Amino acid sequence: MTVNEAPGGFTVRPMTAAEVALAVDWAAAEGWNPGHHDAALFHAVDPDGFLIGLADGQPAAVISVVNYTADFAFLGLYIAHPETRGRGFGWRTWQAGIADAGDRLIGLDGVVAEQDSYRKSGFRLAYRNIRYSGAVAVPDAGPRAGTPAGTLVPLTGVPIDAIASLDAAVFPVARPAFLDAWVSAPGHIGLGLERDGALAGFGVLRPCRTGYKLAPLIAPDEPAAEALFLGLASAAGGAPLAMDVPEPNPAAIALVTRHGLQPVFETARMYTGPVPALALDRLFGVMSFELG
């Protein structure tokens, strides 16, 4: 997909893998604290879904509109370079991304400063996600395999179908290939929680520019979420830990608050059409503001 806009020598086209890495660097400059391997993981999902706007051949704006299925897309990484803002390059790149999604339902996590703009493009608020951050004091040297909530197991040994089934309850579409890459990425640490021999919940800790993010954390109840949380927090070794928590899940907010994490910013989960029916009571930590 290529869009040429005149006058001004402005072009929107799919990013190369190197340009996705540039977009992630821009996200870091905005304070979003991306993971070390986010660029490669993001690009592999939908290489044509990451668009860059070029003004006279120079990067001016970026956006991702990942078409997960024929019915659903997720928008993220919408950034105009600070030196080009106010010249319409971000808006042109936005329009190209929205056009690329076609008639699909589009979801996004919108920062506060842009939410009015998103409403003008037809997005409506579903609920808020709140990022909590801080250092977690874990009394043990490491996770215990057996807990009252269930048995913790390395996620790399769990069939991807079982992981994808739990994720599909809290995300609008199934995405097993992406989950497989996410779980096995270098430096990512995943734990599953088993009950009666079946996977009941899981979480992944990923190293970021600063500290770690626990993303996602999916569990059937607060005791299971806490067991996974503590097991993964122990691997952070006291480094800063962030988790993006859906506000409609009070048990998730209670969990992070109890362990000393503090709210640092929020986003609005918004959709262009009917809000998908998701089991938000099982979603304790969002996978990614960029890919949902």
Last residue in a domain, options 103, 119, 143: 103
The pLDDT value recorded for residue 143 is 52
- What pLDDT, on the 0 to 100 scale, is given for residue 132? 98
Claim to verify: residue 159 and residue 75 sit in the same structural domain:
no
State the 10-residue block means of pLDDT for the chain, 292 residues long: 57 95 94 91 92 96 96 96 93 96 97 90 97 86 66 96 98 96 96 96 97 98 96 94 98 97 97 98 96 93
Together in a domain, 168 and 94:
no
CATH number of the structural domain spanning residue 41: 3.40.630.30
Strands 212-218 and 241-246 come out as parallel
CB 135 within 8 A of CB 241: yes
**Is there a single domain that holds both residue 154 and residue 61?**
no
* Residue 176 covered by a domain: yes
Residues 89 and 143 in one domain: no
* The total number of structural domains that make up the chain: 2
* DSSP characters over 170-198: TSSS--HHHHHHHHHSTT-EEEEEEETTE
Residue finishing a domain among 85, 103, 121: 103
- The verdict on 148 and 81 lying in the same domain is no
Q: Which of 60, 87, 103 is the last residue of a domain?
A: 103
Task: Looking at the structure, tell me whether residues 35 and 95 fall in a common domain.
Answer: yes
* Residue 277 and residue 142 in one domain: yes
Q: Are 89 and 191 in a shared domain?
A: no
* Residue 180 DSSP symbol: H
- Residue 291 placed within a domain: no
> Would residue 260 count as lying in a domain?
yes
Please check whether residue 187 lies inside any domain of the structure: yes
The answer to whether residues 137 and 273 belong to one domain is: yes
pLDDT score at 39: 87
Residues spanned by the domain of 50: 3-103
Tell me, what's the pLDDT at 54? 97
Are residues 275 and 234 located together in one domain of the fold? yes
Residue 262, strand partner residues = 133
What pLDDT is stored for residue 2 in this prediction?
A: 44
Q: State the pLDDT at residue 8.
A: 62
CB atoms within 10 A of CB 59: 18
Residue 111 belongs to some domain of the structure: no
Do both 96 and 136 map to the same domain? Answer: no
